[in-house]
Chains A and B, each alone.
Chain A
Amino acid sequence: GAVVSQHPSRVICKSGTSVKIECRSLDFQATTMFWYRQFPKQSLMLMATSNEGSKATYEQGVEKDKFLINHASLTLSTLTVTSAHPEDSSFYICSARAPRQGGNSPLHFGNGTRLTVT
């Protein structure tokens, strides 16, 4: 089945530094990837849609200058949390849609990145 790999799984950084998270589709090409954020005991909230070769589309309330997204190839999207602050501490999860004939294909998720900003 479709596999999405996310790295790193955990990262601890100091306030003010930047953190890059990678999301790779391992056995399929993904022109679109999605970045979600999940706070404890809450559902997944879509942050942005990453489009290969073009600018990402951000959801309302998500700062595009703070959460930089680069989708440089059909198998890699990166999310960079710039000038991280403790309130950015969260579980970040990427996903990609595997090809499916005939219509909608389900999203497959990476294993997430636990970001802790101290």
Chain B
Amino acid sequence: GQQLNQSPQSMFIQEGEDVSMNCTSSSIFNTWLWYKQDPGEGPVLLIALYKAGELTSNGRLTAQFGITRKDSFLNISASIPSDVGIYFCAGPRTSGSRLTFGEGTQLTVNP
């Protein structure tokens, strides 16, 4: 099936640092979603992007829907220990189609 290439696979940072991760695809997506998953729990939606070029913030998180519709990035500013978890990008290629997930970015924040 359609794949999303997410990078980096893992990140180890110090508390207070900014973080950036991204997803790319060879096909166009009409929606980009960013989720965070804590151990033993289901993914929680962080940000949803619906239009090419859209830049959306949620607290310390900022995500952008790439102009080409083939990529998106997520930035976390001033990281804190509770930001630890796995971050997934996801998206359906067409309206109502099933979600494709990236492989995830494991974030570790050292106090």
A104 to chain B, nearest CB (A): 5
Q: Which of A13-21, A65-73, A77-85, A108-116 contacts B (4 or more CB under 8 A)?
A: A108-116
Q: Which residues of A contact B43 (CB under 8 A)?
A: 44, 93, 109
Prevailing SS type, chain B contact patch:
loop
Using a Cβ–Cβ cut-off of 8 Å, how many residues does chain A contribute to the interface with B? 21
Contact with B42, one of A43, A46, A103, A112 (Cβ below 8 angstroms): A112
Prevailing SS type, chain A contact patch:
strand
The answer to whether A114 and B40 have CB atoms under 8 Å apart is yes
Contact with A111, one of B42, B92, B102 (Cβ below 8 angstroms): B42
Which residues of A are in contact with B by a Cβ distance under 8 Å? 4, 6, 34, 42-44, 46, 49, 91, 93, 95, 103-104, 106-112, 114
Q: A44-B88, A46-B99, A110-B42 are in contact. List 16 more A-B contacts (CB 8 A).
A: A34-B98, A34-B99, A43-B104, A44-B43, A93-B42, A103-B95, A104-B92, A104-B95, A106-B33, A107-B45, A108-B45, A109-B35, A109-B42, A111-B42, A112-B40, A114-B40
